[in-house]
Chain A
Amino acid sequence: MNASSDGATAQLTRKDFVSDQEVRWCPGCGDYAILAQIQKTLPSLGVPKENLVVISGIGCSSRFPYYVDTYGFHSIHGRAMTLASGLKCVNKDLSVWVITGDGDGLSIGGNHFLHTLRRNFDLNVVLFNNRIYGLTKGQASPTSEQGKVTKSTPMGAIDHPINPVRAAIAAEATWVGRALDNDTKHLPSMIETMAHHKGISFLEVFQNCNIFNNGAFLHFSDRKIRSEKMIYLQPGQPMLFGENRDKGIVLDGLKPRVATVGEGGVSLDDVLVYDASDPSLAYLVSSLDYPDFPVPVGVFLDIERETYEDLLEDQVEKAESKRGDMSLQDLVRGTNTWTVG
Protein backbone atom coordinates (compact mmCIF):
# COMPACT_ATOMS: atom_id res chain seq x y z
CA MET A 1 0.00 0.00 0.00
CA ASN A 2 0.96 3.52 -0.57
CA ALA A 3 1.48 5.29 2.71
CA SER A 4 1.77 9.01 2.30
CA SER A 5 2.54 10.88 5.45
CA ASP A 6 0.37 13.82 6.28
CA GLY A 7 0.44 16.04 9.28
CA ALA A 8 -3.27 15.55 9.76
CA THR A 9 -2.85 11.82 10.23
CA ALA A 10 -0.52 12.13 13.15
CA GLN A 11 -3.28 12.56 15.69
CA LEU A 12 -5.46 9.73 14.41
CA THR A 13 -6.41 7.13 16.96
CA ARG A 14 -8.36 3.89 16.97
CA LYS A 15 -11.48 5.89 17.76
CA ASP A 16 -11.27 7.74 14.44
CA PHE A 17 -11.86 4.46 12.70
CA VAL A 18 -14.88 3.37 14.69
CA SER A 19 -18.07 4.16 12.78
CA ASP A 20 -21.39 5.06 14.36
CA GLN A 21 -22.89 1.73 13.34
CA GLU A 22 -23.69 -0.95 15.87
CA VAL A 23 -21.61 -4.06 15.32
CA ARG A 24 -23.96 -6.96 14.72
CA TRP A 25 -21.79 -10.05 14.70
CA CYS A 26 -22.75 -12.84 17.10
CA PRO A 27 -21.33 -12.30 20.57
CA GLY A 28 -18.06 -14.17 20.84
CA CYS A 29 -17.37 -14.15 17.09
CA GLY A 30 -13.72 -14.01 16.06
CA ASP A 31 -14.59 -11.12 13.74
CA TYR A 32 -14.61 -8.73 16.71
CA ALA A 33 -10.98 -9.39 17.43
CA ILE A 34 -9.95 -8.83 13.83
CA LEU A 35 -11.95 -5.60 13.62
CA ALA A 36 -10.36 -4.33 16.82
CA GLN A 37 -6.84 -5.14 15.60
CA ILE A 38 -7.37 -3.47 12.25
CA GLN A 39 -8.92 -0.37 13.84
CA LYS A 40 -5.99 -0.27 16.21
CA THR A 41 -3.45 -0.58 13.41
CA LEU A 42 -4.93 1.83 10.83
CA PRO A 43 -3.92 5.03 12.70
CA SER A 44 -0.27 4.00 12.65
CA LEU A 45 -0.09 3.60 8.87
CA GLY A 46 0.34 7.28 8.11
CA VAL A 47 -2.50 7.24 5.61
CA PRO A 48 -5.05 10.07 5.75
CA LYS A 49 -8.41 8.69 6.72
CA GLU A 50 -10.06 9.88 3.52
CA ASN A 51 -7.61 7.82 1.49
CA LEU A 52 -8.60 4.57 3.15
CA VAL A 53 -11.22 2.39 1.50
CA VAL A 54 -12.60 -0.90 2.77
CA ILE A 55 -14.36 -3.11 0.24
CA SER A 56 -16.09 -6.39 0.97
CA GLY A 57 -18.31 -9.00 -0.64
CA ILE A 58 -21.05 -10.94 1.12
CA GLY A 59 -20.86 -12.98 4.29
CA CYS A 60 -20.41 -12.31 7.98
CA SER A 61 -16.94 -10.87 7.48
CA SER A 62 -18.16 -8.66 4.69
CA ARG A 63 -20.18 -6.49 7.08
CA PHE A 64 -16.80 -5.17 8.09
CA PRO A 65 -16.85 -1.88 6.08
CA TYR A 66 -19.89 -0.63 7.98
CA TYR A 67 -17.92 -0.67 11.20
CA VAL A 68 -14.87 1.22 10.02
CA ASP A 69 -15.19 4.96 9.58
CA THR A 70 -13.48 5.27 6.21
CA TYR A 71 -14.80 5.14 2.69
CA GLY A 72 -16.37 1.72 2.27
CA PHE A 73 -18.24 -0.51 -0.11
CA HIS A 74 -20.22 -3.58 0.90
CA SER A 75 -20.59 -5.15 -2.54
CA ILE A 76 -22.00 -8.46 -3.72
CA HIS A 77 -21.01 -12.04 -3.20
CA GLY A 78 -17.49 -12.80 -4.29
CA ARG A 79 -16.86 -9.60 -6.20
CA ALA A 80 -15.06 -7.32 -3.75
CA MET A 81 -11.72 -7.75 -5.51
CA THR A 82 -13.21 -6.66 -8.82
CA LEU A 83 -14.43 -3.38 -7.35
CA ALA A 84 -11.11 -2.87 -5.64
CA SER A 85 -9.29 -3.46 -8.95
CA GLY A 86 -11.37 -0.87 -10.80
CA LEU A 87 -10.91 1.62 -8.00
CA LYS A 88 -7.14 1.18 -7.96
CA CYS A 89 -7.02 1.63 -11.75
CA VAL A 90 -8.51 5.10 -11.39
CA ASN A 91 -6.96 6.20 -8.09
CA LYS A 92 -3.75 4.46 -7.21
CA ASP A 93 -3.07 6.63 -4.19
CA LEU A 94 -5.83 5.09 -2.13
CA SER A 95 -5.07 2.46 0.49
CA VAL A 96 -7.64 -0.18 -0.34
CA TRP A 97 -8.52 -3.06 1.98
CA VAL A 98 -10.52 -6.04 0.80
CA ILE A 99 -12.32 -8.00 3.48
CA THR A 100 -13.51 -11.43 2.44
CA GLY A 101 -14.22 -14.88 3.75
CA ASP A 102 -13.58 -18.47 2.76
CA GLY A 103 -16.86 -18.74 0.86
CA ASP A 104 -16.84 -15.24 -0.57
CA GLY A 105 -13.19 -15.20 -1.56
CA LEU A 106 -12.50 -18.77 -2.54
CA SER A 107 -15.79 -20.21 -3.71
CA ILE A 108 -18.00 -17.70 -5.50
CA GLY A 109 -15.10 -15.28 -5.83
CA GLY A 110 -12.46 -17.88 -6.67
CA ASN A 111 -11.89 -16.59 -10.17
CA HIS A 112 -11.30 -13.04 -8.99
CA PHE A 113 -9.00 -14.29 -6.23
CA LEU A 114 -6.75 -15.92 -8.82
CA HIS A 115 -6.66 -13.01 -11.23
CA THR A 116 -6.46 -10.16 -8.77
CA LEU A 117 -3.54 -11.78 -7.00
CA ARG A 118 -1.58 -12.46 -10.16
CA ARG A 119 -2.08 -8.90 -11.39
CA ASN A 120 -0.48 -7.57 -8.24
CA PHE A 121 -2.71 -4.63 -7.55
CA ASP A 122 -1.54 -2.80 -4.44
CA LEU A 123 -4.37 -4.12 -2.27
CA ASN A 124 -4.56 -5.52 1.23
CA VAL A 125 -6.73 -8.60 1.21
CA VAL A 126 -7.78 -10.08 4.54
CA LEU A 127 -9.57 -13.41 4.28
CA PHE A 128 -11.46 -14.50 7.39
CA ASN A 129 -11.32 -18.28 7.26
CA ASN A 130 -13.81 -19.94 9.58
CA ARG A 131 -14.18 -23.06 7.42
CA ILE A 132 -17.96 -22.73 7.32
CA TYR A 133 -20.74 -20.66 5.78
CA GLY A 134 -21.96 -18.58 8.70
CA LEU A 135 -24.36 -16.02 7.23
CA THR A 136 -26.35 -18.75 5.47
CA LYS A 137 -26.33 -20.72 8.70
CA GLY A 138 -23.92 -23.53 8.48
CA GLN A 139 -23.09 -25.16 5.14
CA ALA A 140 -19.72 -26.59 4.18
CA SER A 141 -17.27 -24.05 2.75
CA PRO A 142 -14.36 -24.65 0.37
CA THR A 143 -12.03 -24.74 3.35
CA SER A 144 -14.13 -27.19 5.38
CA GLU A 145 -12.20 -30.38 6.13
CA GLN A 146 -13.04 -33.48 4.14
CA GLY A 147 -15.57 -35.53 6.07
CA LYS A 148 -16.95 -32.53 7.92
CA VAL A 149 -20.61 -32.87 8.83
CA THR A 150 -22.60 -29.73 8.14
CA LYS A 151 -26.20 -28.96 7.15
CA SER A 152 -25.35 -29.41 3.50
CA THR A 153 -23.03 -32.35 4.08
CA PRO A 154 -24.89 -34.62 6.56
CA MET A 155 -22.71 -37.59 5.58
CA GLY A 156 -19.52 -35.57 5.59
CA ALA A 157 -18.00 -33.20 3.05
CA ILE A 158 -16.66 -34.95 -0.02
CA ASP A 159 -14.73 -31.95 -1.33
CA HIS A 160 -11.01 -31.81 -0.86
CA PRO A 161 -10.50 -28.45 0.87
CA ILE A 162 -8.57 -25.54 -0.53
CA ASN A 163 -5.64 -24.15 1.44
CA PRO A 164 -5.89 -20.34 1.03
CA VAL A 165 -2.20 -19.64 1.61
CA ARG A 166 -1.19 -22.31 -0.90
CA ALA A 167 -3.68 -20.97 -3.41
CA ALA A 168 -2.38 -17.42 -2.92
CA ILE A 169 1.22 -18.49 -3.47
CA ALA A 170 0.18 -20.48 -6.53
CA ALA A 171 -1.65 -17.40 -7.82
CA GLU A 172 1.66 -15.56 -7.50
CA ALA A 173 0.70 -13.05 -4.88
CA THR A 174 3.68 -10.99 -3.76
CA TRP A 175 2.92 -11.01 -0.02
CA VAL A 176 1.22 -13.93 1.70
CA GLY A 177 0.66 -14.34 5.41
CA ARG A 178 -1.42 -16.13 7.98
CA ALA A 179 -2.51 -15.27 11.52
CA LEU A 180 -4.91 -16.27 14.27
CA ASP A 181 -7.90 -14.09 15.19
CA ASN A 182 -7.15 -14.02 18.92
CA ASP A 183 -3.39 -13.68 18.66
CA THR A 184 -3.36 -10.09 19.87
CA LYS A 185 0.36 -9.60 19.39
CA HIS A 186 0.94 -11.39 16.13
CA LEU A 187 -2.20 -10.35 14.22
CA PRO A 188 -1.56 -6.56 14.40
CA SER A 189 2.03 -7.06 13.35
CA MET A 190 0.82 -8.98 10.30
CA ILE A 191 -1.69 -6.23 9.47
CA GLU A 192 0.96 -3.59 9.74
CA THR A 193 3.46 -5.54 7.65
CA MET A 194 0.98 -6.27 4.90
CA ALA A 195 -0.09 -2.63 4.81
CA HIS A 196 3.46 -1.56 4.10
CA HIS A 197 3.94 -4.08 1.32
CA LYS A 198 3.63 -2.49 -2.10
CA GLY A 199 1.65 -4.89 -4.25
CA ILE A 200 -0.97 -7.42 -3.35
CA SER A 201 -0.82 -8.66 0.21
CA PHE A 202 -2.98 -11.58 1.20
CA LEU A 203 -3.56 -12.48 4.82
CA GLU A 204 -5.49 -15.56 5.90
CA VAL A 205 -6.88 -15.20 9.39
CA PHE A 206 -8.07 -18.32 11.18
CA GLN A 207 -11.33 -17.03 12.58
CA ASN A 208 -13.55 -18.85 14.99
CA CYS A 209 -17.27 -19.06 14.23
CA ASN A 210 -18.58 -19.83 17.68
CA ILE A 211 -22.07 -20.60 16.38
CA PHE A 212 -21.59 -22.92 13.44
CA ASN A 213 -18.03 -24.16 13.71
CA ASN A 214 -16.90 -23.48 17.23
CA GLY A 215 -13.34 -24.45 18.04
CA ALA A 216 -12.45 -25.25 14.45
CA PHE A 217 -8.81 -24.39 15.10
CA LEU A 218 -8.50 -25.30 18.77
CA HIS A 219 -6.71 -28.58 18.07
CA PHE A 220 -3.64 -26.49 17.30
CA SER A 221 -4.48 -22.95 18.43
CA ASP A 222 -5.43 -23.63 22.01
CA ARG A 223 -3.05 -21.57 24.08
CA LYS A 224 -2.05 -24.62 26.08
CA ILE A 225 -0.71 -26.47 23.08
CA ARG A 226 -0.05 -23.61 20.65
CA SER A 227 3.70 -23.66 21.06
CA GLU A 228 3.80 -27.35 20.21
CA LYS A 229 1.28 -27.29 17.40
CA MET A 230 2.05 -24.03 15.63
CA ILE A 231 5.17 -22.51 14.18
CA TYR A 232 5.81 -18.77 13.74
CA LEU A 233 7.70 -18.13 10.52
CA GLN A 234 10.54 -15.67 10.90
CA PRO A 235 12.60 -14.59 7.91
CA GLY A 236 16.23 -15.60 8.22
CA GLN A 237 15.54 -17.67 11.31
CA PRO A 238 15.60 -21.45 11.71
CA MET A 239 12.14 -22.99 11.76
CA LEU A 240 11.98 -23.90 15.42
CA PHE A 241 8.95 -24.54 17.59
CA GLY A 242 7.94 -26.31 20.79
CA GLU A 243 7.76 -25.30 24.41
CA ASN A 244 11.54 -25.50 24.60
CA ARG A 245 12.10 -24.44 20.97
CA ASP A 246 13.96 -27.68 20.45
CA LYS A 247 11.90 -29.00 17.57
CA GLY A 248 12.59 -27.96 14.03
CA ILE A 249 11.67 -28.54 10.41
CA VAL A 250 14.33 -30.47 8.55
CA LEU A 251 14.38 -31.17 4.83
CA ASP A 252 15.16 -34.58 3.41
CA GLY A 253 15.62 -33.58 -0.19
CA LEU A 254 12.34 -31.80 -0.85
CA LYS A 255 10.54 -33.62 1.93
CA PRO A 256 10.04 -31.80 5.20
CA ARG A 257 10.02 -33.64 8.51
CA VAL A 258 9.94 -32.73 12.18
CA ALA A 259 13.11 -33.38 14.10
CA THR A 260 14.31 -32.66 17.63
CA VAL A 261 17.51 -30.70 17.78
CA GLY A 262 20.18 -32.75 19.47
CA GLU A 263 18.50 -36.05 18.68
CA GLY A 264 19.29 -38.49 15.89
CA GLY A 265 22.30 -36.45 14.84
CA VAL A 266 20.22 -33.35 14.05
CA SER A 267 21.91 -30.09 14.95
CA LEU A 268 20.60 -26.50 14.82
CA ASP A 269 22.45 -26.10 11.53
CA ASP A 270 20.29 -28.81 9.98
CA VAL A 271 17.08 -26.93 10.71
CA LEU A 272 15.56 -25.21 7.72
CA VAL A 273 16.12 -21.46 7.72
CA TYR A 274 13.04 -19.64 6.52
CA ASP A 275 13.29 -17.31 3.53
CA ALA A 276 10.14 -15.40 2.61
CA SER A 277 11.64 -14.24 -0.66
CA ASP A 278 11.58 -17.76 -2.10
CA PRO A 279 8.17 -18.71 -3.58
CA SER A 280 9.16 -22.38 -3.90
CA LEU A 281 10.08 -22.59 -0.24
CA ALA A 282 6.90 -20.74 0.66
CA TYR A 283 4.86 -23.24 -1.29
CA LEU A 284 6.64 -26.14 0.35
CA VAL A 285 6.12 -24.74 3.84
CA SER A 286 2.49 -23.98 3.08
CA SER A 287 1.93 -27.73 2.87
CA LEU A 288 2.77 -28.16 6.56
CA ASP A 289 -0.45 -28.92 8.39
CA TYR A 290 -1.99 -30.51 11.40
CA PRO A 291 -1.58 -33.25 12.62
CA ASP A 292 1.78 -34.23 11.11
CA PHE A 293 3.32 -30.79 11.36
CA PRO A 294 2.97 -27.62 13.33
CA VAL A 295 0.66 -25.19 11.54
CA PRO A 296 2.73 -22.28 10.20
CA VAL A 297 1.67 -18.67 10.69
CA GLY A 298 3.49 -15.47 9.81
CA VAL A 299 4.84 -14.15 6.53
CA PHE A 300 5.10 -16.94 3.97
CA LEU A 301 6.06 -14.80 1.05
CA ASP A 302 7.29 -11.25 0.59
CA ILE A 303 8.62 -10.34 -2.84
CA GLU A 304 8.66 -7.30 -5.09
CA ARG A 305 6.92 -6.98 -8.41
CA GLU A 306 5.57 -3.94 -10.22
CA THR A 307 1.94 -3.25 -9.48
CA TYR A 308 -0.79 -3.33 -12.07
CA GLU A 309 -1.83 0.24 -11.45
CA ASP A 310 1.72 1.57 -11.78
CA LEU A 311 2.21 -0.28 -15.05
CA LEU A 312 -1.11 1.07 -16.28
CA GLU A 313 -0.18 4.60 -15.28
CA ASP A 314 3.18 4.19 -17.04
CA GLN A 315 1.43 3.23 -20.26
CA VAL A 316 -0.88 6.22 -19.99
CA GLU A 317 2.06 8.55 -19.44
CA LYS A 318 4.05 7.08 -22.31
CA ALA A 319 1.07 7.26 -24.64
CA GLU A 320 0.30 10.82 -23.60
CA SER A 321 3.81 12.00 -24.33
CA LYS A 322 3.81 10.14 -27.63
CA ARG A 323 0.51 11.80 -28.58
CA GLY A 324 2.21 15.18 -28.52
CA ASP A 325 -0.12 17.96 -29.58
CA MET A 326 -2.62 15.71 -31.34
CA SER A 327 -6.02 16.79 -30.06
CA LEU A 328 -9.11 14.75 -29.42
CA GLN A 329 -10.66 16.61 -32.35
CA ASP A 330 -7.80 15.30 -34.50
CA LEU A 331 -8.47 11.76 -33.34
CA VAL A 332 -12.17 11.98 -34.01
CA ARG A 333 -11.60 13.54 -37.42
CA GLY A 334 -9.13 10.83 -38.43
CA THR A 335 -6.90 11.00 -41.46
CA ASN A 336 -9.26 9.80 -44.15
CA THR A 337 -11.75 12.60 -44.65
CA TRP A 338 -13.53 14.30 -47.51
CA THR A 339 -15.28 17.61 -47.74
CA VAL A 340 -18.75 18.34 -49.01
CA GLY A 341 -19.89 21.80 -50.14
Chain B
Amino acid sequence: MTPATGTFTLPARVLHWLMALLIVAMLFIGVGMVESVSERHEWLLAIHKPLGIAILLLAIVRLAVRLRHPPPPLPADLPALQKLAALASHWLLYFLMLAMPLIGWAMLSAGGYPVMLGTSLRLPPIFPTSAVAFAVLRHLHEWFAMLLFLTFLAHMGAALYHGLIRRDGVLSSMVGRRST
Protein backbone atom coordinates (compact mmCIF):
# COMPACT_ATOMS: atom_id res chain seq x y z
CA MET B 1 0.00 0.00 0.00
CA THR B 2 1.04 3.57 -0.52
CA PRO B 3 1.55 5.36 2.78
CA ALA B 4 0.13 8.85 3.09
CA THR B 5 2.84 11.43 2.88
CA GLY B 6 3.40 13.96 5.62
CA THR B 7 1.68 14.62 8.90
CA PHE B 8 -0.77 17.20 10.15
CA THR B 9 0.91 20.36 11.42
CA LEU B 10 1.72 20.51 15.12
CA PRO B 11 -1.08 23.02 15.90
CA ALA B 12 -3.56 20.79 14.04
CA ARG B 13 -2.41 17.72 15.98
CA VAL B 14 -2.52 19.49 19.36
CA LEU B 15 -5.98 20.89 18.62
CA HIS B 16 -7.20 17.51 17.39
CA TRP B 17 -6.21 15.54 20.48
CA LEU B 18 -7.18 18.26 22.95
CA MET B 19 -10.57 18.70 21.33
CA ALA B 20 -11.07 14.95 21.00
CA LEU B 21 -10.71 14.71 24.76
CA LEU B 22 -12.97 17.71 25.43
CA ILE B 23 -15.69 16.71 22.95
CA VAL B 24 -15.89 13.10 24.10
CA ALA B 25 -15.97 14.29 27.73
CA MET B 26 -18.67 16.78 26.74
CA LEU B 27 -20.86 14.09 25.17
CA PHE B 28 -20.65 11.97 28.31
CA ILE B 29 -21.26 15.00 30.55
CA GLY B 30 -24.28 15.96 28.45
CA VAL B 31 -26.07 12.62 28.53
CA GLY B 32 -25.06 12.10 32.15
CA MET B 33 -26.40 15.39 33.45
CA VAL B 34 -29.83 15.16 31.82
CA GLU B 35 -30.31 11.63 33.14
CA SER B 36 -29.48 12.40 36.76
CA VAL B 37 -31.43 13.93 39.64
CA SER B 38 -28.46 13.80 42.03
CA GLU B 39 -25.88 16.49 42.77
CA ARG B 40 -24.16 15.14 39.65
CA HIS B 41 -26.78 17.01 37.62
CA GLU B 42 -25.69 20.28 39.14
CA TRP B 43 -21.92 19.96 38.84
CA LEU B 44 -21.99 18.40 35.38
CA LEU B 45 -24.19 21.28 34.21
CA ALA B 46 -21.71 23.72 35.75
CA ILE B 47 -18.92 22.14 33.65
CA HIS B 48 -21.03 21.71 30.51
CA LYS B 49 -21.62 25.39 29.77
CA PRO B 50 -18.07 26.83 30.08
CA LEU B 51 -16.63 23.71 28.42
CA GLY B 52 -19.03 24.19 25.50
CA ILE B 53 -17.86 27.76 24.99
CA ALA B 54 -14.24 26.61 25.24
CA ILE B 55 -14.92 24.04 22.50
CA LEU B 56 -16.58 26.73 20.37
CA LEU B 57 -13.50 28.98 20.63
CA LEU B 58 -11.11 26.10 19.94
CA ALA B 59 -13.23 25.02 16.96
CA ILE B 60 -12.97 28.49 15.43
CA VAL B 61 -9.17 28.43 15.83
CA ARG B 62 -9.07 24.91 14.44
CA LEU B 63 -11.14 25.82 11.41
CA ALA B 64 -8.69 28.63 10.67
CA VAL B 65 -5.73 26.25 11.05
CA ARG B 66 -7.41 23.72 8.78
CA LEU B 67 -8.12 26.30 6.06
CA ARG B 68 -4.54 27.63 6.28
CA HIS B 69 -2.83 24.25 6.36
CA PRO B 70 -4.56 21.66 4.19
CA PRO B 71 -4.25 18.16 5.68
CA PRO B 72 -1.87 15.62 4.14
CA PRO B 73 -3.48 13.79 1.25
CA LEU B 74 -5.16 10.46 1.85
CA PRO B 75 -3.41 7.38 0.39
CA ALA B 76 -3.77 7.32 -3.38
CA ASP B 77 -5.06 3.75 -3.35
CA LEU B 78 -7.87 4.45 -0.85
CA PRO B 79 -11.20 3.55 -2.51
CA ALA B 80 -13.16 6.59 -3.66
CA LEU B 81 -16.07 5.77 -1.38
CA GLN B 82 -13.79 5.74 1.66
CA LYS B 83 -12.23 9.03 0.58
CA LEU B 84 -15.67 10.54 0.28
CA ALA B 85 -16.67 9.16 3.69
CA ALA B 86 -13.53 10.62 5.23
CA LEU B 87 -14.11 14.03 3.69
CA ALA B 88 -17.81 14.13 4.57
CA SER B 89 -17.32 12.94 8.14
CA HIS B 90 -14.53 15.46 8.75
CA TRP B 91 -16.68 18.37 7.62
CA LEU B 92 -19.64 16.99 9.58
CA LEU B 93 -17.42 16.97 12.68
CA TYR B 94 -16.37 20.57 12.02
CA PHE B 95 -20.02 21.56 11.54
CA LEU B 96 -21.14 19.84 14.74
CA MET B 97 -18.32 21.13 16.93
CA LEU B 98 -19.26 24.66 15.89
CA ALA B 99 -23.04 24.16 15.86
CA MET B 100 -23.46 22.33 19.18
CA PRO B 101 -22.19 25.16 21.44
CA LEU B 102 -24.07 27.77 19.40
CA ILE B 103 -27.32 25.78 19.60
CA GLY B 104 -26.85 25.30 23.35
CA TRP B 105 -26.24 29.01 23.81
CA ALA B 106 -29.23 29.93 21.61
CA MET B 107 -31.42 27.38 23.38
CA LEU B 108 -30.73 28.84 26.83
CA SER B 109 -31.30 32.34 25.39
CA ALA B 110 -34.65 31.29 23.90
CA GLY B 111 -35.66 29.70 27.22
CA GLY B 112 -35.10 33.01 28.97
CA TYR B 113 -32.29 31.62 31.10
CA PRO B 114 -29.30 33.76 31.99
CA VAL B 115 -26.36 32.05 30.25
CA MET B 116 -24.02 31.64 33.22
CA LEU B 117 -20.54 30.23 32.65
CA GLY B 118 -19.71 30.37 36.34
CA THR B 119 -21.20 31.90 39.45
CA SER B 120 -20.91 35.42 38.03
CA LEU B 121 -19.73 35.26 34.40
CA ARG B 122 -22.72 35.69 32.10
CA LEU B 123 -22.89 35.64 28.32
CA PRO B 124 -25.44 37.84 26.51
CA PRO B 125 -28.42 36.12 24.87
CA ILE B 126 -28.00 35.31 21.16
CA PHE B 127 -31.64 34.44 20.47
CA PRO B 128 -34.93 36.17 21.37
CA THR B 129 -36.96 34.63 24.20
CA SER B 130 -39.38 32.09 22.73
CA ALA B 131 -40.70 28.89 24.29
CA VAL B 132 -41.30 27.35 20.86
CA ALA B 133 -37.76 28.14 19.72
CA PHE B 134 -36.45 26.74 23.01
CA ALA B 135 -38.19 23.43 22.41
CA VAL B 136 -36.94 23.13 18.83
CA LEU B 137 -33.36 24.09 19.75
CA ARG B 138 -33.33 21.82 22.81
CA HIS B 139 -34.33 18.80 20.67
CA LEU B 140 -31.85 19.83 17.98
CA HIS B 141 -29.12 19.97 20.63
CA GLU B 142 -29.92 16.40 21.61
CA TRP B 143 -30.23 15.01 18.06
CA PHE B 144 -26.99 16.66 16.99
CA ALA B 145 -25.30 15.28 20.12
CA MET B 146 -26.34 11.77 19.09
CA LEU B 147 -25.17 12.46 15.53
CA LEU B 148 -21.87 13.76 16.91
CA PHE B 149 -21.45 10.63 19.03
CA LEU B 150 -22.13 8.36 16.03
CA THR B 151 -19.77 10.38 13.84
CA PHE B 152 -17.12 10.17 16.56
CA LEU B 153 -17.54 6.37 16.71
CA ALA B 154 -17.18 6.09 12.94
CA HIS B 155 -14.16 8.41 13.01
CA MET B 156 -12.49 6.44 15.81
CA GLY B 157 -13.29 3.13 14.13
CA ALA B 158 -11.94 4.38 10.81
CA ALA B 159 -8.77 5.72 12.43
CA LEU B 160 -8.13 2.33 14.04
CA TYR B 161 -8.87 0.63 10.70
CA HIS B 162 -6.25 2.81 9.03
CA GLY B 163 -3.76 2.25 11.85
CA LEU B 164 -4.25 -1.46 12.50
CA ILE B 165 -5.51 -2.96 9.28
CA ARG B 166 -4.51 -0.77 6.34
CA ARG B 167 -1.41 0.53 8.13
CA ASP B 168 -1.33 3.24 5.51
CA GLY B 169 0.04 6.13 7.55
CA VAL B 170 -3.29 7.93 7.99
CA LEU B 171 -3.42 7.38 11.75
CA SER B 172 0.24 8.25 12.21
CA SER B 173 -0.27 11.49 10.26
CA MET B 174 -2.36 12.63 13.24
CA VAL B 175 -0.32 10.89 15.92
CA GLY B 176 2.73 12.63 14.50
CA ARG B 177 5.05 9.65 14.25
CA ARG B 178 5.89 8.39 10.79
CA SER B 179 5.42 4.67 10.60
CA THR B 180 7.57 2.51 8.39
B partners with A = no
